[in-house]
Amino acid sequence: MLRSNMKRRKPLIAGNWKMFKTCQEAVETAQHLVKLIADNTTIDVMIAPTFTSLMPVSDVVKGTCVALGAQNLFWEPEGAYTGEISSAMLVSAGCSYVIIGHSERRQYFGETDITVNKKIKAAIKDNLTPIVCVGESEKERESNHTFSVLDKQIAKGLEDLIPSDLETLIIAYEPVWAIGTGKTATNEQAQAVHQYLRSLIEKKFGNNLANSVSILYGGSVKPDNIKELMLMPDVDGALVGGASLNAETFSKIVLGF
């Protein structure tokens, strides 16, 4: 498949299904998606259903171009932590990715840059690729604090990581004001932040890792805005919420640039 924006970093389109879909609905959506994008060989695709749907969806996507991810994990390997799930458990359910520090987890479940950091370390230890979400609120953007918020999220969230950790880690820039609101960052706003994030990685981990780290954009991505976003030099893919719930819509994003 010919794509207009071939970059050195392989694009990833990741779907975050949040708290939607029963097991049966998740399986049906995954089956439909797998058929719709069966010809895709050029980009990485991941879907992250709820914990209860991981195993059945894993059976559906095995051997296809669709990888499986989880929406969260706990950093301890096992123990008396009612309601939690470890990275090894996610791997055993077929996951290769895990979303960490989504703004909904920060907003409703008290996650902080410190817990994000612990979760990233646990994921990497068990060979799960962490997709680490960062991003500013509307108030922070309006008061010109976007970059200082990102400085802190990256400094604390990636604290004590070593360069080899960065080889698998993926960053998702998700401006909180654009998540589920229908408001998308303009291409220029996304590019400016992605470039800034890359410069933070360069300062912390050097030029090579800054050039190789993938930075996804998330926030009301749809079939009609993916192409323009992907033309931005520092946008390497997308983390898609609402528009990933429907297989046809999500397939148009996967095949749409």
Q: Which of the residues are catalytic? A: 102, 174
For residues 204 and 222, which CB has a smaller minimum distance to ligand PEP in the complex? 222
Tokens 């209860």 correspond to 52
User: Is 224 a residue that touches ligand PEP (CB under 6 A)?
Assistant: no
Angstrom distance (rounded) from CA 23 to CA 29: 10
Q: How many CA atoms lie within 13 A of 227 on its CB side?
A: 8
- Cα separations in angstroms, 12 against 108, 146, 157, 230, 235: 27, 24, 22, 11, 10
Tokens of 184: 């998308």
User: Is 130 a residue that touches ligand PEP (CB under 6 A)?
Assistant: no
Phi then psi for 35, rounded to 5 degrees?
Answer: -65, -45
| Interface pattern 22-61 for ligand PEP (x via CB under 6 A) | ----------------------------------------
49, 101, 175, 218: which one binds ligand PEP (CB under 6 A): 218
Alpha-carbon torsion angle 43, 104, 132, 192, nearest 10: 80
Q: Rounded to the nearest whole angstrom, what is the least distance from the CB of residue 251 to ligand PEP in the complex?
A: 15
26, 67, 242, 257: which one binds ligand PEP (CB under 6 A): 242
180, 186, 199, 212: which one binds ligand PEP (CB under 6 A): 180
Tokens of 20: 């939607």
User: Is 240 a residue that touches ligand PEP (CB under 6 A)?
Assistant: yes
For residues 54 and 243, which CB has a smaller minimum distance to ligand PEP in the complex? 243
Size of the site for ligand PEP (CB under 6 A): 13
